[in-house]
Amino acid sequence: MSKKNNFVVSIFALALVLFVSASVAFAQVRTEDLYRAEDDGSYDTMSWLLGTGDIPTIDPGLATDTTSNQVIQTIFMGLTTIDEETAEVQDGVAIELTKGDIAEDGSITYTYRIRTDIPWVRYNPETEAVEPVVDCDGNVRFLTARDFEYAIKRVVDPALASDYAYMVADHVVGATEFLTGAEGATADDILVKAIDDATLEITWLAEFAANNMIAGRPTYFAVPSWVIDGDACTEASGDLWATVENIQSYGPYTAVEWIHDDSFTVVRNPYWPADIESVPQPQIEEIVFRFLDSSAALAEYEAGNLTGSNLVPASEIDRIKADPVLSEAYHAGEDMCTYFYGFNTTAPFVDDARVRRALSMAIDRQSLIDNVAKGGQIPAQWWTRPGLAAAPTLEEYPDLGIKYDPEGAKALIEAYMAEKGISDPSEIKIELMHNTSENHAKIAVAVQQMWKDTLGIGITISNQEWAVYLKTIRSENAPQVFRNGWCTGYPDAASFLNDGISSGSSLNPTVDSLPGSKPIGMVMWYNERFEDLIDEARLTLDVAERTNLYAEAEQILVYEDAALAPIYWYKSLQLSDPALNRTYSILGGVENFYKWSYQ
């Protein structure tokens, strides 16, 4: 879509950045003294379909969805990052990790040394340029360990009401007590401590293989306290800090424009360091993220108005594969995500596990993939995506979970009806809701027909725009059945079962984020045996034993209690300009655009 862009970094600039890196923690630096990447005068741009609806937020502490996190992971960066193709943990803004000894209570302290040469930046619409943020004395504000301490503690502040507070509370010593308002608990009791500008300590509840990956999740990203709370020269923005007008960030790109329900634009941050191998300086100057349905996106791509899309209309896949031009742009690859229908286990009819199990057993997953989804997805017998550490596989656990069984589904419904005195299955009324999307709508209609043909149950289908939908399903008025997808945050089964569906977590929230407390949305489900199994599995060192524990938990989740119906394990289906040199993410479609360039 545009010409290749090359950056020219002068010897002087490189020498200067090394000087700044070594000295910034001890000296004041003015804007004119900063390292700044130079370019050759060209201006590469691209446009990318981000989703069908607007992103809900660009606040790392509040984001719960992949579309929000895509933008956030473009304009911010974690202590660590995960390679999008190999799933290996890599350095982000941290350059060194030291682990302490395991304490008597099982906790362990990780000490991170972070770079001190990364400035906070903002886009100035008047100068149309990315500019460093300065403090009240006119000196550059650099990213520090204190920014991470502030951000991590902010996530578990009850005043923020973060849906992802459990991502800190479940892992960091002292966080749960502060979040739940335990007597005498304060933010100072949360064991996240900035020792100095370059040194951050995090004390984890236990030694867990994924601790270092969790430290790189958006929930742990630094945020600017002076913008949120204000200081001597900055008016507090509060909740409005995460708008394009107020946002300050430090990642490879910087936010420029947000036209709600239409697009979100970012531009290259020229102050991003040149020597972070895992997060190189971007080669593409500007990215415009678009919000369109898949058919509209395909039309825009074919018209030359869109560089790429992470959604492909299922009805067009056969044509795309057969077309000599489009087939060159098409990519079907691995994606560590699961497509599923969740059940509000407190709602009428689906408050009975027999009904939920029958609905799940009545879904012909292979037919759905062959005739509707058409992307080579894999029928899901359980929830956790195979391929993750300690996740069950079809080869080792062929009979685990739930399968298409129409006769078994009929028997379950008949037993339920007999017990409840229901003479006609059409008296069982169920609403199936999905977020607005052409592909989701076609899948819902197909499942509706399967349930009618197999069970005779009356199903109504409704849909809502993405941001509204998230609020609806996360409320106590969640629909009886709701569509969702879950993608791994880090390559371990715990990212699904512990972080995703356990009581108090993202898809099963409780009033205080604690397991067993009052449910407040989505599946609203608690099973003590399930919770014990996943807690034990997370801290078990032997991989085979961990996998067995998670497999037993999956059987409870998708079969015995049937709190959700797994439908298929995703494939990443994309169209992109063949002129792009790019990577393909297996991590839920969150791409690292800073690695892309034009040939």
Show me where the domains of the chain are located.
7-294+577-598, 333-572
Q: What string of DSSP letters covers 379-419?
A: E-SSSSPBTBBT---TTT-TT-S----HHHHHHHHHHHHHH
Residue 256 has φ and ψ, to the nearest 5°, of: -120, -50
Determine the 3-state secondary structure of 162 from DSSP: coil
* Homologous superfamily of 7-294+577-598: Periplasmic binding protein-like II (3.40.190.10)
312-361 pLDDT per residue, tens: 999 999 999 999 999 999 999 999 999 999 999 999 999 999 999 999 99
3-state secondary structure 282-350: CCCCEEEEEECCHHHHHHHHHCCCCCEECCCCHHHHHHHHHCCCHHHHEEEEEEEEEEEEEECCCCCCC
pTM check: above 0.95: no
The contacts of residue 247 (CB under 8 Å, 6+ apart) are 58, 75, 122, 227, 241, 255
387-396 pLDDT per residue, tens: 999 999 999 9
C-alpha closest to that of 484 among 495, 502, 497, 470:
470
- pLDDT tens for the chain, 599 residues long, are 433 333 333 323 333 333 334 334 445 888 787 878 877 777 899 999 999 999 999 999 999 999 999 999 999 999 999 999 999 999 999 999 999 999 999 999 999 999 999 999 999 999 999 999 999 999 999 999 999 999 999 999 999 999 999 999 999 999 999 999 999 999 999 999 999 999 999 999 999 999 999 999 999 999 999 999 999 999 999 999 999 999 999 999 999 999 999 999 999 999 999 999 999 999 999 999 999 999 999 999 999 999 999 999 999 999 999 999 999 999 999 999 999 999 999 999 999 999 999 999 999 999 999 999 999 999 999 999 999 999 999 999 999 999 999 999 999 999 999 999 999 999 999 999 999 999 999 999 999 999 999 999 989 999 999 999 999 999 999 999 999 999 999 999 999 999 999 999 999 999 998 999 999 999 999 999 999 999 999 999 999 999 999 999 999 999 999 999 999 999 999 999 999 999 999 998 799 999 999 98
Which CATH architecture is the domain 333-572 placed in? Roll (3.10)
Which residues is 431 bridged to in the sheet? 460
